[in-house]
Each structure stands twice: as C-alpha cells, then as structure tokens.
Structure 1
Amino acid sequence: MRTSRPFAVSIAAVGLVLALSACGSGTAEPAADSSAGSSGSSDAAASGEQFPIEVEHAFGTTTIESKPERVATVNWANHEVPLALGVVPVGMAAANFGDDDGNGVLPWVEDELAELGAETPVLFDETDSIDFEAVADTDPDVILAAYSGLTQQDYDTLSEIAPVIAFPETAWGTDWRDMIRLNSQGMGMESEGDALIEDLEGQIAATAAEHPELEGTSAMFLTHVDTADLSTVNFYTGHDTRTMFFEDLGMTVAKSVQQVTDETDQFSGTVSAEQVDQFDDVEVIVTYGDQSLLDTLEADPLLSQMPAVENGAIVAMDGTGPLGTAANPTPLALPYVLEDYADLLAEAAAASE
C-alpha cells in the first residue's frame, strides 16, 4: 500500500494559494481551540464567494449567512473535504471500521493532520448514532454531512445546532465528487472544491491509463459475504459509491447489477443464490474477505457457476483494513490507495479473459 502523503489541492488553481495560506496559522492549532477549523474571512475573498450562500440537498435548502469559522462533520469521511482544503474541523466522526491502530483516525487522515501540523479534532462516537451533544459542544458554525445516512429527525436535530449540509438525493448515495462539491460549498470554498475534484480526476485518469485492461470490464461489488449462509447473493447497487467508482476507472457496472439499480433507490440488493445465473455478465467481482472466502465460493455448487468465480477474477480485500475501507472512495483515501486498488482490479480483469 502506498504511504505517501495524500492529495493536497493543486496550487495552480486560481486563488488557491491564497486560500490555503490563509488557513495555515489556524489549522496548526489544536482542534479543541477556537481557532481550529477557522478558515478566516480572507478565504472567502480568495475564493470569490459571496454570502449568504444557499446549498440545496435532500431535506431542502440550507443558508450559510457568513463564512464558517468552525466546521464540524458527522458520518463517514465528510471531514476529509475540509482537511484536503487545509481546514481542520473542530469535530468529526471517529472511524468505526478500517482503523488499523484503533485510534479512531484512518491513516490518510493522520497523514493530512500531520502535514497541517494539527492535533486530532474532537472525535464523535457514532457507534450507535450521532452524538448530538458532542457535536453541540464543539460549537460549530456549519455541520457537513453531504455523504451520510441522515434521517429527517437527524437533520432537524443537527439544524438546531448549526446549518447542516445533507446528502443531495439518496442516503449513502453521494459520489465523491458531489461529496466534495456540497461540503466545500457549505464552507464557502466552492472554487477550491472544484480544483480538488479536477486534481483527483487527473490522478484517476492517469492511473486508469496505466491499466488499459480495465476498459469496458464489467464488475459487481459483493457486500460482506456470510460464508455460513450462501443462500443469497448480496451486492451493492449502482447507487453505492463503491460501484460508481468502477466507471471512474474505465470499467462498467454489469448490466445485471444496473437492472436492479434501475428498479430501486437502495444502495444494496439481494437475490437468491438459485438465481445467480443472472450475473453471468459479471467479469470481475470485488468483495471483502480472504483466501478462505475464495475457497468457499469456489466450492459452493451455485456460486461457483458465476464466471468471475470460475475464472478466479475476484478482488478480495480485508474489510477491516485501510485498503478495503478505501474501496469506498473519499477525497484523501483516493490518492492513498488508488494505484494498489487499480493493480488488484487489473489482475482480476486479466484472469477474466
């Protein structure tokens, strides 16, 4: 796995050097300090943002009256957007899977905090649900949750604390671009967010170009497989960001998966193993597991009939480790694991031929 420093927004973007330098002194302070997460009024001037700003999402429209000085985030990975833009949140959700050392912070986030000279922000324990009291204690000016599973009740409760940026349409269905776009808008840093998207797209395109065997390869992403019960095939639909990412790399979502996607707004689907032949068009399977999982799939009388299983065209990742976690693409995770993930996909694509 690559361990180089994660992405930082290209300094060639218009006005971005000024924006990041304006963030510098504030982000180096401890997250609990009032200066943590403060991006300063000069950021707004550098970005050319005019306030108030209105951001539309699934629960309506959120108005940001003035430049947020204290940014909090809830749910998975939303904190990576301000960090990638040089702003340290005053509070963020603790990582509850993929955390290799148990400190609640994923390695690419640790690297970015170190790069910014910042301490770890307040970590919200979301094991059961959002800790609204802890969020309120950080006294945020805005709460970012563009990639999330907020309910209407969650949104209403958070909105009593500060303006909230929620997901655009479907819970847990926000792709990495919209995650960046909406969260950066909520910070008054839309132009910097656009530059971040452009830079990441360039990295992805360059990596895909190194693996031409991925072009047009059809894929599906199985959810965590229960080896004790293989009576069903559980998978992520095209509404899930893991599946969406296949297309970024030049692959395609298998037509069989897309058909289910067109019939639901859910991010996952299930079919009986007796109907597994509908996935005959799947050339590569990605899932979470190890060699024992692959052995189990190959030994199963039904699932072994899937071409991807028969050909050994499977990418099995540790669902509790960083690489498996980053298969769900987020702003800082993308450059951290991109090449490793593409290598695994390419190996599986070659096996499918």
Structure 2
Amino acid sequence: MNRRTFAATALVAAAALLAGCGSSDDGPAEQPTGGQGDWAPVEIEHAFGSTTIEAEPTRVVTLGWGSTEAALALGVVPVGIETQTYAVDDAGRLPWVSEKLAEMDAETTMVPATVEEPAYEDIDALEPDLILAPYSGITADQYDLLSEIAPTVAYPEAAWTTPWRDVIDIVGRSLGMAEEATALVEDLDGQLAAAEDAHPELQGLTVAAVWDVGGTFYVYKPADARVDFLLDLGLESAPAVTELDTGGETFVYGLSYEQTDRLEADILVNYASTDEEAQTFLEQSYAQAIPAVQDGAVANVTGDPLVAAMSPPTALSLTWGLQDYVDLLSAAAQNAS
C-alpha cells in the first residue's frame, strides 16, 4: 500500500555542512558528498537483506519520503530527487526542499514519481552510486532491479513506516555521516522537547488521527510515523484506534461510518486539504457522532503544505510546520473532556 495514497490524498534545520553534490546547467556535478576522508565499507540492513556501500557515495538518488530532506540537512545534494505529487511547486518539490536548495545555491535533477514502478531508466541515466529509499514503498522485485543500477538501501521493516529519526540515521550512515546524523536528530529532539515543555496541556491526552477523503474514513495507527510524531509531543494513542482495527494494514485502516461513535479520544486530529473540506467533514452525521467532535476538541490540520510537513515529519519539514501544528493541538486540548 502506497503511503502517498493515504498521506497525501487519503499523505530542521540543523547545522548543515556545505559539502555536497552540486549541479550545473549541464546536470548534477560529481563531488564528494560526505567529505569524511578514508572510507570504510558500510553495511546497512533492511527488509530485503543488507546493502554494502563499498566506496564513498558521490552520486546519490533519493526515492520515497524523507531521505531527500535528510541528505540535504546533512549538506548533501542528491543528483536525483524523486518528484512528489502532493503539496509541491511546479518543479515537483516540497516547499522546504526548494527552500533548502535555494539556501545551498544548488540544483538537482527531478526523477519522475513512482506510479507502478520506479523510473528505472531516468535513475540509471544519472549514474548513481547509491540509491536511498528508507521510507518508501518499493517491493522486493523493485529493490532487486534498483540494486542492478546501484547499491540500494530500503526500509528496515515495513513499507512507509520508518520513523523519521531512523530515516535520518539510515541516510547518515549510508553517507558516512553517522555522527552528523546523530547530532541532527539530537537538535530536532531538542526542538520537540521545547515544544512539549511549552504545552503541558497536551501531556497524557489521547489522540486519534484521521482523514475523511474519497468516501473512506481513514484512521492512522500507532505504527504510522505521523502518529509517532504526535506521541513525541506528549500525546498518547487512543486505545480505540487499535481496538477498532479489523484489517491487516500496517499503518492505516478504513473505519465504517457506522462505527465512528466508537472512536473515543481526547483529541481528534483531522487532516484536510482546505478549510472547506474540514468543515464539510465536521458537518456530517458520522463526524458529529465522534466524541471529540462533540466536545469541539478537533485539531483541523488544513492546507496541503502543512499536512505534508507533518505527515510524517522529515529532517526539514519538522521545524517548518512545528509551531503551527502545536498551536492547533493546543487549541483542541482546551476543549478536551
């Protein structure tokens, strides 16, 4: 199941090093990425086995979600970035990615978005020596094909579920920048801790994260990285989220409209592309049956960029939308019963 189906339509700055893979009008230029001197082979274990990176990567392609931001936050500009399809600019880049590239005065090649299969020919044309996909939906067969192009790092367990900290860690180790990645995570954790300390009203409240779109009422499970991020802020996943799940999906499920009254949580986080979409949802009888809606304890996360920034957060988007997100949660908490 593709994460973007559920994150987008159903979907930090740390002290960055300036060394990276730059580019020119003739295409991305080959430059050392990590600048770590002598390279020792790195082995990364993942869902499809393990990948050994024998030499320092100089031409990196990033696929899926979050690996682009992790690389950029570490000062590495990929030669190829997979185009996103939600909350993006005309170039297919998310706003925080475009802002970071502008800050670094760097350019890159956009790889067509994965539909059924990754864009193998476009990726191969970039002559990468490393493909990063630690938060993606690539299958075992796709991994094998990508690995014929270059060493490929997949997700550690299940598709579209890797926590943002692990994405940064995996990208950092793959680039020979493990220490820098640890420092980046510590910096972001510090900003999260500060936000949590500033909002004690969130501590211990239960939360359910949902999106009503396309005739299906989606409920995100604790395994989903966006829910994990809510827990980082001191909230707790509502027991009902797990209890109402009768399917086998890893990170999200569709809840029958007849059962929404059983979705008990102190706070409901409702994702929507527009304010009008959020209001339309709240006016439905099945929404009115949800206890948190009755209490007015709803955090409507609206606007595609903010939804994308938190769904789930990345090394660059976490701080990009953090304050707005926490403010919405805090307002909802004031009405929690």
After TM superposition, is the score higher than 0.5? yes
Deviations 1:213-251 (A, max 9, x none): 11112111113434xx4xx53211112111111111111
Give the RMSD, CA atoms, in angstroms. 2.3
Residue number in structure 2 paired with 1:330: 314
Query: C-alpha distance in 2, partners of 1:30/1:9?
Result: 28
- Matching of residue 59 in structure 1 with residue 52 in structure 2: no
3-state SS of 2:27 partner: coil
Partner AA of 1:251 in structure 2: L
Residue number in structure 1 paired with 2:36: 43
Query: C-alpha distance in 2, partners of 1:109/1:295?
Result: 30
Q: How does 1:112-151 map to 2 (within 5 A)?
A: 112-119=100-107, 121-126=108-113, 128=115, 129-151=117-139
Identify the match of residue 268 of structure 1 among 247, 252, 259. Answer: 252
Residue number in structure 2 paired with 1:252: 236
Residue number in structure 1 paired with 2:297: 313
Shift, 1:291, TM fit: 4.0
Residue number in structure 2 paired with 1:164: 152
Query: C-alpha distance in 2, partners of 1:292/1:118?
Result: 37
- Matching of residue 223 in structure 1 with residue 229 in structure 2: no
Partner AA of 2:13 in structure 1: F
Shift, 1:290, TM fit: 3.8
Deviations 1:80-135 (A, max 9, x none): 11110001000011121011x3221122112211221212x110111524111111
Residue number in structure 1 paired with 2:27: 32
Deviations 1:306-350 (A, max 9, x none): 11111222222335x211111120110011111111111111111
Residue number in structure 1 paired with 2:4: none
Query: C-alpha distance in 2, partners of 1:58/1:212?
Result: 38
3-state SS of 2:158 partner: coil
- Matching of residue 76 in structure 1 with residue 62 in structure 2: no
3-state SS of 1:284 partner: strand
TM-score, normalization by structure 1? 0.85
* Matched pairs, number: 324
Query: C-alpha distance in 1, partners of 2:125/2:205?
Result: 48
Partner AA of 1:305 in structure 2: A
Partner AA of 2:149 in structure 1: I
**Is the 2:266–2:297 contact (alpha carbons within 8 Å) kept by the matching residues of 1?**
no
Shift, 1:143, TM fit: 0.4
Residue number in structure 2 paired with 1:342: 326
Partner AA of 1:160 in structure 2: E
Partner AA of 2:27 in structure 1: A
Shift, 1:261, TM fit: 6.8
3-state SS of 1:351 partner: coil
Query: C-alpha distance in 2, partners of 1:260/1:173?
Result: 20
**Is the 1:94–1:126 contact (alpha carbons within 8 Å) kept by the matching residues of 2?**
yes
Shift, 1:252, TM fit: 1.0
Residue number in structure 1 paired with 2:82: 93
3-state SS of 1:222 partner: strand
3-state SS of 1:221 partner: strand
3-state SS of 2:285 partner: coil
Query: C-alpha distance in 2, partners of 1:57/1:184?
Result: 15
Shift, 1:265, TM fit: 4.9
Query: C-alpha distance in 2, partners of 1:334/1:242?
Result: 11
3-state SS of 1:160 partner: helix
Q: Percent identity?
A: 39
**Is the 2:59–2:128 contact (alpha carbons within 8 Å) kept by the matching residues of 1?**
yes
Unmatched tracts of structure 1, length 5 or more: 1-5, 11-19
**Is the 2:266–2:336 contact (alpha carbons within 8 Å) kept by the matching residues of 1?**
no
Q: How does 1:257-296 map to 2 (within 5 A)?
A: 257-259=241-243, 264-296=248-280
Query: C-alpha distance in 2, partners of 1:167/1:259?
Result: 27
**Is the 1:75–1:147 contact (alpha carbons within 8 Å) kept by the matching residues of 2?**
yes
